[in-house]
């Protein structure tokens, strides 16, 4: 859903923008699209209209291609990413979306002012960014608070299909007394992080489950199995066994 909103945001005002000189980093991006797209593809993209749903489908097509190739593994990647960072855009989804928006305007000889789109994105992202900043601090605190072999209780909301779900920022609030949830008592068997040192995890071995058949993110997890608990940007609530205070 968040990815859908990204493209709706970027393509919702294709005809309403001011003119600016095209930054060289966007010119690199236009040249790249001219190379990887056929003339027929370019013509189809050029003719997309404001109410066309096609842009929403681009996220997993050319948008994904741009993120994996132009923005990450290209001779111009560092320059293009640095440009977007300089105007406040750090998320690769938004970078690819802004490239496609600008390219569409360029193909149609439309005036555009990319900072208008940037300001709109930053305003829409403010609740997420504030939540993510807070969650990084909380995640680090939890990582250092718990040790390997500590007993832990994890409470996780359940979907109608009886599988654990998770919510991302900024929608992390829920009350265990008010919603059906899976409660697991277990033992922490490992602590680790991936990439960014704030992307922190516990491995937990299951000792008890209040719903024995409930799945975790659609995966079967039984007594004696281990599952991963993310400490950042997660609505799952954890506490040490015997402690009545849960940590988000």
pLDDT for position 52: 61
DSSP bridge pairs for 201: 192, 230
Pick the CATH number of 146-240 from 2.30.30, 2.40.30, 3.30.360, 2.70.98: 2.30.30
pLDDT for position 12: 47
Lowest mean pLDDT across 112-116, 198-202, 216-220, 238-242: 238-242
pLDDT for position 205: 98
Domain ranges of the chain: 2-112, 146-240
Q: Which of 59-73, 166-180, 219-233 has the highest mean pLDDT?
A: 219-233
Lowest mean pLDDT across 51-60, 61-70, 132-141, 176-185: 51-60
Residue pair 154/186 in contact by the 8 Å Cβ criterion: yes
Q: What is the pTM of this model?
A: 0.56
């Amino acid at each position: 859903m968040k990815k859908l909103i990204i493209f709706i945001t970027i393509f919702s005002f294709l005809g309403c923008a001011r003119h600016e000189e095209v930054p060289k980093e966007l010119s690199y991006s236009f040249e790249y699209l001219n190379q990887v797209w056929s003339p027929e593809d370019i013509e189809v993209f050029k003719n997309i209209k404001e109410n066309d749903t096609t842009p929403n489908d681009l996220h997993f097509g050319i948008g994904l291609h741009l993120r994996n190739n132009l923005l990450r593994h290209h001779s111009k990647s560092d320059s293009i990413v640095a440009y977007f960072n300089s105007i406040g855009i750090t998320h690769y989804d938004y970078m690819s979306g802004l490239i496609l928006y600008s390219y569409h305007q360029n193909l149609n000889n439309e005036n555009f002012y990319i900072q208008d789109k940037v300001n709109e994105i930053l305003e829409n992202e403010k609740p997420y960014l504030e939540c993510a900043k807070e969650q990084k601090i909380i995640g680090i605190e939890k990582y250092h608070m718990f040790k390997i072999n500590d007993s832990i209780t994890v409470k996780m909301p359940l979907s109608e299909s009886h599988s654990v779900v998770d919510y991302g920022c900024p929608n992390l609030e829920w009350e265990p007394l008010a919603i059906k949830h899976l409660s697991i008592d277990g033992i922490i068997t490992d602590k680790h992080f991936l990439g960014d040192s704030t992307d922190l995890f516990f491995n937990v071995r299951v000792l008890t489950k209040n719903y024995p058949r409930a799945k975790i993110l659609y995966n079967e997890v039984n007594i004696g199995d281990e599952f991963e608990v993310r400490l950042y940007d997660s609505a799952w609530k954890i506490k040490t066994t015997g402690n009545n205070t849960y940590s988000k």
